């Protein structure tokens, strides 16, 4: 297939994190051919990749990771030597409303890809890698202290995290049983540009901008550990190239925030950028019914990644949030496109239920 050094299948490349992965790999590694496979669900959007869609080392394939014959045909067509697997149903609230679609995509979809690798690579495992992008939510919830390490036992508590945990277990099972070369990374909450506005940060940015209520679940005391998406992607790059096979790496920037404090910080940043008197948008904060089974706290200990592979985040939270807010304010059309149709229906159902 041409003279490419590697042919990499990236799944879910039209989504939030996937589009940042595809952009980085296409631009930084012209000797790699990048094939982006995405089903273009409500969360997938080719506008995210408009700037690189003409690149000669980039190909888009529309398709579903759960379709076995389609996936096998794709492997025959491209002879991939690597997979970076991000395609997933990714939103906890949606998983509470519709758990089976999470089981289908996240568990069956991952198994289907693993099986295609097993078949396609059975005669030669040299220079092959299946990189599975996962979440810290597989570890469950923390109390007010302690951190998730790579040794923490899995204890998922939402249909989303349980389906991701199951997919992680399948990845390791294929490693131990079939010697498939695999790596898993479990990352904390991401934020940044192109983030679908059903998740906390882009939803709040959009609502602050439009003077809509800011729905904080419960008392806003739940804690998340936030990482700028570009820093997640730089970690994926390093782990993909230098991580040890059969290992798990936790990714996080030691940046814990209670939801209510984060929303107040965002409000302050945005009031300034929108030339509103200080404190204007804080009045929009509205406490709503809590999420069922709401995990109290996530916090990653990234020591293995920082000491073994030398990764560190490139921005402070304030810098990352400013960049993110600037991007949303400058990309009104993108927001308009993704918040029409399905989003509006989801939003009305989700937040009518809670108030
Ligand atoms: P996302 O929902 O923005 O994107 C998911 C992408 O997968 C979309 O483009 C969608 O069209 C595609 N997809 C969904 N079902 C598919 C199917 N059956 N076949 C092919 N494509 C399909 O998700 P994200 O936030 O970018 O997350 C990407 C990955 O990173 C996920 O595996 C998620 O579990 C993991 N992760 C996310 C975070 C986070 O904070 N967002 C943190 C850690 C790990
Ligand atoms: P979210 O962005 O959905 O990520 P996750 O549930 O995977 O951590 O939510 C982040 C936190 O924000 C979580 O504690 C739930 C809370 N939250 C709200 O308070 N209000 C909202 O409207 C949303 C979407 C989330």
Asked whether residue 182 is domain-assigned, the answer is yes
Q: Is 41 near ligand 1, meaning CB less than 6 Å away?
A: yes
Dihedral, CA of residue 34, residue 177, residue 175 and residue 31, to nearest 10: -30
Give catalytic status of residue 261 as yes or no: no
Question: Distance from the CA of 86 to the center of ligand 1, in angstroms?
Answer: 5
Q: What would the pLDDT profile of 167-195 be if each residue is shown by its tens digit?
A: 999 999 999 999 999 999 999 999 999 99
Q: Which atom of ligand 2 sits closest to the CA of residue 189?
A: 8
Q: What would the pLDDT profile of 272-329 be if each residue is shown by its tens digit?
A: 999 999 999 999 999 999 999 999 999 999 999 999 999 999 999 999 999 999 999 9
Q: Centre a 10 Å sphere on the Cβ of residue 288 and count the other Cβ atoms it contains.
A: 16
Asked whether residue 323 is domain-assigned, the answer is no
Q: 225, 52, 237, 59: which is closest to 148 by C-alpha?
A: 225
Structural contact between residues 249 and 240, judged by C-beta atoms closer than 8 angstroms:
no
Mean pLDDT value across the chain: 96
pTM of the model: 0.98
Question: Which residues' Cβ are closer than 6 Å to ligand 2?
Answer: 92, 189, 199-200, 203, 215-217, 222, 224, 259, 291
Q: 161, 191, 186: which is closest to 252 by C-alpha?
A: 186
Structural contact between residues 182 and 246, judged by C-beta atoms closer than 8 angstroms:
yes
Asked whether residue 1 is domain-assigned, the answer is no
| 249 has pLDDT over 70 | yes
Asked whether residue 312 is domain-assigned, the answer is yes
Q: Which residues, 6 or more positions from 194, have their beta carbon under 8 angstroms from its beta carbon?
A: 16, 19, 20, 45, 48, 327, 334
Q: What would the pLDDT profile of 120-173 be if each residue is shown by its tens digit?
A: 999 899 999 999 999 999 999 999 999 999 999 999 999 999 999 999 999 999
Asked whether residue 285 is domain-assigned, the answer is no
Q: Is 200 near ligand 1, meaning CB less than 6 Å away?
A: no
Asked whether residue 63 is domain-assigned, the answer is yes
Q: What H or E segment, with its residue span, contains residue 227?
A: strand 223-228
What pLDDT, on the 0 to 100 scale, is given for residue 343?
78
Q: What is the DSSP string of 277-296?
A: PTTTGGGGEEEEPPPTT---
User: 144: domain CATH number?
Assistant: 3.40.50.720
What pLDDT, on the 0 to 100 scale, is given for residue 164?
99
Name the residue range of residue 169's domain: 6-194+227-255+298-316
What pLDDT, on the 0 to 100 scale, is given for residue 345?
83
Give catalytic status of residue 137 as yes or no: yes
Please give the Cα distance from 48 to 229 (Å, whole number). Answer: 14
Total domains present in the chain? 1
What pLDDT, on the 0 to 100 scale, is given for residue 148?
98
Phi-psi region of 324 (alpha: psi -120 to 50; beta: other; left: phi over 0): alpha
What pLDDT, on the 0 to 100 scale, is given for residue 354?
75
Please give the Cα distance from 11 to 112 (Å, whole number). Answer: 12
Dihedral sign computed on CA atoms, order 152, 108, 228, 344: negative
Q: Which atom of ligand 2 sits closest to the CA of residue 204?
A: 22
| Mean of pLDDT values over 221-245 | 98
Q: Is 190 near ligand 1, meaning CB less than 6 Å away?
A: yes
What pLDDT, on the 0 to 100 scale, is given for residue 342?
80
Tell me the two tokens of residue 346: 């989801």
Q: Centre a 10 Å sphere on the Cβ of residue 330 and count the other Cβ atoms it contains.
A: 10
Catalytic residue among 58, 78, 160, 298: 160
> pLDDT confidence of 341, banded at 50, 70, 90?
confident
DSSP structure class, residue 140: -
Asked whether residue 321 is domain-assigned, the answer is no
Q: What would the pLDDT profile of 203-219 be if each residue is shown by its tens digit?
A: 999 999 999 999 999 99
Catalytic residue among 81, 136, 225, 230: 136
Q: What would the pLDDT profile of 65-98 be if each residue is shown by its tens digit?
A: 999 999 999 999 999 999 999 999 999 999 999 9
Asked whether residue 273 is domain-assigned, the answer is no
Tell me the two tokens of residue 183: 């790596």
Q: Is 164 near ligand 1, meaning CB less than 6 Å away?
A: yes
Which one of the ligands is nearest to 262 CA? 2
| Mean of pLDDT values over 40-50 | 95
């Amino acid at each position: 297939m041409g003279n490419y050094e590697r042919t990499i299948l990236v799944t879910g490349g039209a989504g939030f994190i996937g589009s940042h992965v595809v952009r980085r790999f296409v631009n930084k590694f012209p000797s790699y051919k990048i094939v982006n496979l995405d089903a273009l669900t409500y969360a997938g959007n080719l506008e995210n990749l408009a700037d690189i869609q003409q690149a000669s080392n980039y190909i888009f394939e529309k398709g579903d990771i759960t379709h076995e014959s389609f996936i096998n045909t794709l492997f025959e067509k491209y002879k991939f030597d690597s997979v970076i697997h991000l395609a997933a149903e990714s939103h906890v609230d949606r998983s509470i409303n519709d758990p089976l679609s999470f089981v289908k995509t996240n568990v069956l979809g991952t198994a289907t890809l693993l099986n295609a690798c097993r078949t396609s690579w059975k005669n030669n495992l040299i220079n092959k890698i299946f990189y599975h992008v996962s979440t810290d939510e597989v570890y469950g919830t923390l109390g007010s202290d302690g951190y998730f390490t790579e040794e923490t036992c899995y204890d998922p508590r939402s249909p989303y995290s349980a389906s991701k945990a199951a997919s992680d277990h399948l990845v390791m099972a294929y490693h131990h049983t079939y010697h498939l070369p695999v790596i898993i990374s479990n990352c904390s909450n991401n934020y940044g540009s192109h983030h679908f506005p059903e998740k906390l940060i882009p939803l709040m940015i959009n609502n602050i901008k439009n003077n809509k209520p800011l729905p904080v679940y419960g008392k806003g005391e739940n804690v998340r550990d936030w990482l700028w998406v570009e820093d997640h992607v730089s970690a994926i790059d390093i782990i993909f190239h230098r991580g040890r096979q059969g290992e798990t790496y936790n990714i996080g920037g030691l940046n814990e925030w209670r939801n209510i404090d984060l929303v107040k910080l965002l409000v302050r940043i945005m009031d300034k950028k929108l030339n509103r008197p200080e404190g204007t948008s804080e009045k929009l904060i509205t406490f709503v019914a809590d999420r069922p089974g709401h995990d109290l706290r996530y916090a990653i200990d990234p020591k293995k990644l920082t000491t073994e592979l030398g990764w560190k985040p490139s921005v402070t939270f304030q810098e990352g949030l400013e960049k993110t807010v600037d991007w949303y304010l400058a990309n009104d059309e993108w927001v308009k496109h993704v918040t029409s149709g399905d989003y509006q229906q989801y939003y009305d159902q989700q937040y009518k239920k809670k108030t």
